[in-house]
Amino acid sequence: MFAQSLDATVRILLLRAGPQDFPFAKGLTPVLLGLAILANALVFSRVLPPPMALGIAAAMVAAMAMVTRAILRMRNVLNRFQQTFNALLATSAVLTFALLPGFIQLAPQILELAKHPELLDKPDAVHVSGIAVFFMNLVNCWNFSVTAHIFRHDAGVNRWVGMVIAFVAAGVMLFV
């Protein structure tokens, strides 16, 4: 079950498969929930206290579940929820773990700017790694593309509508 999930996750990340190719196993969901929450909590804990980071991570995963359920319900394909949600959890966990090295490099600068916002007026005072920023933007764009790809397949819509759905889903998750 885990080997099939890993294979499906890699193929979805490469846009070679859809969430319908993800194994259907209810026992997989708790593991993927834990991984997704852990990945987000590790990233957020670099700039926030651990309890707050864990709470935000759990809220983001819960928001992902609500958005996914709402989108599939609107398209009248709620029976696809388990595979879609598991595919989203797996792919987002992998890509969030991939963000961690870049975020570790940027976290000290983010904390410094939070303590001293007047540094934003002095561009020479802030030293940010361009490579880390580029890498994080690249991973975030990839994550958006994968999310759009998953929603496009499950909602049965074209690529552009899938991107709109992914944009709305990202907005809702960030708002929550």
82-140 tens-digit pLDDT: 999 999 999 999 999 999 999 999 888 888 888 888 877 877 777 778 898 999 999 99
Q: Which residues of 67-99 are buried (b: 16+ CB within 10 A; e: fewer)?
A: bbeebbeeeeeeebbbbbbbbbbbbbbbbbbbb
* pTM of the model as a whole: 0.91
1-34 tens-digit pLDDT: 788 999 999 999 999 999 999 998 878 999 999 9
Helices (H), the chain: 2-13, 28-44, 50-74, 81-115, 130-155, 159-175
CA distance 13 to 108: 30
CA distance 126 to 158: 42
Instruction: Kindly give, in sequence order, each residue whose CB lies less than 8 Å from that of residue 125, ignoring residues fewer than 6 positions away.
Output: 119
